[in-house]
Amino acid sequence: MFLTFLRHNVYASYVLTVIRIYLGFIWLQASWGKITGSFDATGYLKGALSKAEGEHPAVSGWWASFIENFALPNISIINILVPWGEFLVGIALIVGLFTSFSVLMGLVMNFSYIFSGSAGQNPSMVILGFLVLIAGYNAAQFGIDRWITKKNRTETQPKHAVYNN
């Protein structure tokens, strides 16, 4: 019932659009300082590694291993992917372009930050992101996806309608 509401209700599409744009601005804001400044994730990743030690580690061993064996040796790539990934996700969510893919990539980044021991606003962004992801096309009703997918929609796909149950 809730899924039907999220995916088909016209009023839900309004709320989802606000959520989508809000998430986009958060990603855009997070990226802008990194792009215009001198961003280096080395300190952050080393800090995450230090959280993997002790009696009650905040970072799991498998994630610490990923950081140590992949992320840190490839820090030059990480330093490009993080700010530009955040920027592209932000822009795509604001304009409603490839919405499901964009929010999925945002969720991947949110979880990587959570796995690294940083909570902040990431848990709330995960909840909102999952709402947008689950809603699918309805979250992109008021965005570029509407015009992109209009040509590709079939009669079997649901039309935009008010939920009446």
**How far does the chain reach from its first CA to its final CA, in angstroms?**
8
Report if residue 162 sits inside a domain.
no
Confidence at residue 151, expressed as pLDDT on a 0 to 100 scale: 56
State the pTM of this model. 0.85
- Secondary structure of the chain: what % helix, strand, coil (to 5)? 70, 0, 30
6 token code pair: 């999220």
Question: Mean pLDDT per 10-residue run, the chain (165 residues)?
Answer: 86 94 96 92 94 90 95 96 96 95 96 92 94 90 83 54 46
Confidence at residue 164, expressed as pLDDT on a 0 to 100 scale: 45
Tokens 């932000």 correspond to 90
Domain membership of residue 130 as a residue range:
2-38+84-150
| CA–CA gap between residue 73 and residue 155 (Å, rounded) | 50
Confidence at residue 9, expressed as pLDDT on a 0 to 100 scale: 87
What does the chain come to in residues? 165
Report if residue 68 sits inside a domain.
no
CA-CA-CA-CA dihedral for 57, 59, 65, 66, to nearest 10 = 180
Report if residue 105 sits inside a domain.
yes
Report if residue 16 sits inside a domain.
yes
Yes or no: say if 41 and 79 are a contact pair by the CB < 8 Å rule. Answer: yes
Nearest to 16, CA basis, from 2, 29, 28: 2
The SS3 of residue 159 is coil
* CA angle, 6 then 8 then 10, to 5°: 90
Report if residue 114 sits inside a domain.
yes
Yes or no: say if 20 and 132 are a contact pair by the CB < 8 Å rule. Answer: yes
Q: Domain count for the chain, please give it.
A: 1
Look up residue 109 and give its amino acid.
M
Confidence at residue 3, expressed as pLDDT on a 0 to 100 scale: 84
DSSP secondary structure letters along 8-27: H-HHHHHHHHHHHHHHHHHH
Confidence at residue 163, expressed as pLDDT on a 0 to 100 scale: 45
Q: What is the largest CA-CA distance in the chain?
A: 57
Confidence at residue 104, expressed as pLDDT on a 0 to 100 scale: 97
